[in-house]
Structure 1
């Protein structure tokens, strides 16, 4: 890929462009290329469409449902004969994968009576069965409930009560955490991989005896597809409700970039045929960074998927070389780890044509380093949210190298963007405002939280809580967050969630959590607490006391204690920013 190309699956994706109706021509500007695609290719036709009383710019000819992406992508995968999924030596062709999806959908319908309006939870690591289940559940008309695999029993209890999911597919460690809830919540547990044999039902035996005939289910494009939990400023995570339309709209917005790319930068004469697109999934599939722009997009982009069960940079280098991986998308920490591992091995990973970052902002200094280490790859960044089905802002190549602190430009063609002040007025270029986006890819609502939904979604516009400025060329730079969120290696952590856990400790009178800069993870959790007179607490004691009550990644790695009230602002609320600055200054003074 040449520096400056838009993000694509194949670098110079002329093969895909020709396949869906384009011939290469003289270079166009990105804006002209988008206009050309919209005016000449019916696949990406857009028109005003009313959804839940709001008019959006929406695709007219995309598959109406998520599981419909399988049929839509069959031709791109050699009519099912192409290799599609690789996991630790196990391989599926696209046709084999599609057949397994149909068998599991039949099991859900006939064995468990799952259908439209039901919710089915998935709690496991990155196993192939997770991908199969996502599509099988959606094929029945039911809603997928993505469960964070790192949650404790208490956190799982909240999500399952909130979502009312009664059927849960889980691996061994998650089965162990779910079993204490089984009777009280009337759960049906199905063991997957190392969870088989731990409960009455197991995935292998259920799907082996099933038919792979497709289900005939009436599903509306605006029915719910999934609930994904995202940390917010409230103590408990919010269930983000995504519809079939919203997820598929995001997928086709990214797919369109693969068509635009060769119009902007045609391949040089005599250039070799690009490698088949192939993605390495290194982040959890219960987050949108992995599910949407990697897994779901792969279905229609003709891309192969290789799953990693657990992040290991040296193993990632081996897989990229052995499987000729072209696309890598992870949190910034993983890009840095990959760079270090590649340098140690003395390899350039020449097959990579896209090296993207999501989930958190990549340190600006890392951008040029990555470009030097991986000269064939377009170094990319992106901003999106669970609430937007990961669709949002992004850039690649020279644009990114020239603006390493920026998040990029809005992805066309169905999104609209405004930067608003607190009163809801649009701010001028160059002034700070809250990123507010409108598109059919936006969530339907927060599950069971009408007030939070009304605060976030207004006439189709989603107020993101991220503060940014935009320049005259449309590049957006995010400067701050209105929400009190710590982003630890791509994992969102609500400060109030941490504070609620700290208040479990009997000697803690009040607590304030905040981010602490970390060279590897970007941010880690820090906290300052007021202790009762005469009490003592260090970080190790605190971590031991919180173990089992909150996920380990939420436990503060830095702790400051005092016996006087925490710093207050003018309104007598805890001054989080001031307290954080003071704590970090004391730490700096020690060194």
Structure 2
């Protein structure tokens, strides 16, 4: 038997010197160190970190008393409300896994997610009662439904067994709870639209959530007690992990039900908001708002944008408002932003157009990402850093998901060779910054939302007049990209663009519906495969 190394002798891992990393520890610290700081603002409602901590404890206790076990899924479909923020802590505090569902999905997609995730509980809200009720119809084992009864929203109905406040009243904030024994334990489940019709369930672990929350704080230089406006949906990669980041910084979460220019500018002025996130479409909306709405903001505001490279005009407009834009890149599979276009002070001297070009690049690895490269996906050989050679963006380390729920084959494929394969094709510049040039996955990013082209094509093929269909991204000044459908009609069949679009609206969420339809013979290879690169070029040239 070999002798133990001196550094291993008598130096055991114990509760005194080791604990699993989890962002739940941030909440406890914020409540102890800054109990009276404002944690959440929602209209006239203001809650401190002490109150927020107590409510999260009650939520965890109540869920346990309702039979929720460690490893169970608790789903939520709600706007950016205080209850949604609390769920990011209360649900995993009882050992369960939080599944925040895209509020823009149709009932069919919501039903699929609830069944695939085996949700034990669904927390929902009046605004989505219609689509949620339809999703629940026909489910063999529907979850316990809890209603958020927001006094500021009276439309819709209460469809649950009890309200969120009634659920909290069943809990006890003095009931003991423990941090996870293993930081590899799942903390959340996020569904992404990939190249197949059904969304894939991306599983996050406590360690990754802890580290990406920290990475956000460090990379954005958020400082102590930032005031953060919820323009980014909390269902997007758990709000890119910012609920946990705000607990780490003992910051203030300013809730916002709808992303509209007037309430955004009002909140920035009233609450002295200094940070918010959003897709370029949000920034474009703010740029285009009436000048009267923009008056009276005299403090610095930092903006983080992702989803598509922000156009130079958008960056210029935001910075003229005094808003400093940071461009980040990532995927649901990487906890959101894992790559950041880190800024160098020397670049401030360059012309604004040159600055905008630099900012539009995806960037370099974020502080807590362990590896980033552009490489050949088969050989894993990095491409030259010449700004011209094309390869696939790959990441590795703690900011990469555990994998896809109930999908070992796709998990293995996406993590092949010890790297996460993003599916995004890019060049690598001499300074180490990556820049996307194309997407190997046929995913359209419209207004920050991922749209599966295959899902849209499946609906088009249901139309009785359609023989063949292919959907690609068409550049759009407002949305970044929109779906463009190329359709071949059956012999003798007749259909108009308006008819095709109306048909799609009946069968899918509105944001996925093609904005334009082109009737033509589809270009194909000798083996009959549709040449989407040809269609992309045609879509770019459409008037």
TM category (shorter chain) comes to 0.7 to 0.9
Paired position in structure 2 for 1:445:
403
Return the alpha-carbon distance in structure 2 between the equivalents of residues 147 and 480 of structure 1. 28
Partner of 1:216 in structure 2? 177
Residue 583 of structure 1: CA displacement? Answer: 4.8
Q: Deviation per CA, 1:354-381, whole angstroms, max 9, x where unpaired?
A: 122122221133223322231xx43211
> Do residues 122 (structure 1) and 76 (structure 2) align?
yes
SS at match of 2:399: coil
How far apart, CA to CA, are the structure 2 residues paired with 1:391 and 1:584?
28
Q: Does 1:379 align with 2:331?
A: no
How far apart, CA to CA, are the structure 2 residues paired with 1:553 and 1:196? Answer: 24
1:207 aligned onto 2:168: yes
Range with greater deviation from structure 2 (82-91 or 194-203): 194-203
SS at 1:503's partner residue? helix
Q: 1:289 touches 1:358 (CA, 8 Å); kept in 2?
A: no
C-alpha displacement of 1:255: 2.8
1:482 corresponding residue in structure 2 = 440
| SS of equivalent to 1:85 | strand
Matched, 1:283 2:232: yes
| Separation in structure 2 between the aligned mates of residue 178 and residue 353 of structure 1, nearest angstrom | 36
Unmatched tracts of structure 1, length 5 or more: 1-59, 262-273
Contact 1:539/1:557, CA 8 A, preserved across alignment: no
Q: Which one of 304, 307, 311 corresponds to residue 359 of structure 1? A: 307
Instruction: State the secondary structure of the residue aligned to 1:86.
Output: strand
Question: 2:94 aligned with 1:140, yes or no?
Answer: yes
Give the alignment of 1:306-325 within 5 angstroms: 306-325=254-273
Q: 2-side partners of 1:545 and 1:413: how far apart?
A: 45
Q: Distance in 2 between matches of 1:100 and 1:196?
A: 24
Specify the SS of the correspondent of 2:300: coil
1:409 aligns with 2:409: no
Equivalent-residue separation in structure 2 for 1:123 and 1:558 (angstroms)? 30
Equivalent pairs counted in the alignment come to 507
Does 1:198 pair with 2:152? Answer: no
Cα–Cα, structure 1 residues 252 and 518, in superposed 2: closer, same or farther, change >3 Å?
Answer: same
**So what's the TM-score if we normalise by structure 2?**
0.88
CA deviation after TM superposition for structure 1 residue 510, in Å:
1.5
1:305 aligns with 2:305: no
What is the CA–CA distance in structure 2 between the aligned matches of 1:118 and 1:289, rounded to whole Å? 18
1:581 aligned to which of 530, 537, 543: 537
Q: Distance in 2 between matches of 1:536 and 1:88?
A: 52
Which one scores higher on RCO, CA 8 angstroms, separation ≥ 6? 1
1:258 to partner: Cα distance: 6.3
Give the superposition deviation at 1:87: 1.2
Query: 1:347: which partner in 2?
Result: 295
CA distance in 2, matches of 1:408, 1:176: 41
Q: Please give the alpha-carbon distance, in whole angstroms, between the structure 1 residues aligned to 2:140 and 2:418.
A: 35
Deviations 1:338-367 (A, max 9, x none): 223374445373323312212222113322
Aligned residue in 1 for 2:8: none
Determine the C-alpha separation between the residues in 1 that align with 2:270 and 2:290. Answer: 14
Deviation of 1:227 after TM superposition, in Å, equals 0.9
Which residue of 1 is the match for residue 373 of structure 2? 418
Q: Which residue of 2 aligns with 1:237?
A: 199
Q: Secondary structure at the match of 1:572?
A: coil
Partner Cα separation in structure 2 for residue 166 and residue 290 of structure 1 = 22
Structure 1 residues 433 and 289: CA distance shift in structure 2, 3 A = farther
Is residue 368–residue 399 contact of structure 2 (8 Å, CA) maintained in 1?
no
Map residues 66-77 of structure 1 onto 2, 5 A cutoff.
66-74=23-31
- Which runs of 5 or more residues in structure 2 are unaligned? 1-16, 348-354
Corresponding residue number in structure 2 for 1:296:
244
Distance 1:571 1:347, change over 3 A: farther
Taking the aligned partners of 2:98 and 2:217, their CA distance within structure 1 comes to 23
Shift of 1:542: 2.4
Report the Cα offset of residue 73 of structure 1. 3.1
1:580 Cα offset (Å): 3.2
Q: Distance in 2 between matches of 1:346 and 1:153?
A: 38
SS at match of 2:288: helix
**In structure 2, distance between residues paired with 1:413 and 1:124:** 30
Contact 1:389 1:441 in 2 (8 A): yes
Q: What is the root-mean-square deviation of aligned Cα atoms in Å?
A: 2.3
Equivalents in 1 of 2:225, 2:60: separation in Å?
29
Partners of 1:529 and 1:360 lie apart in 2 by 27
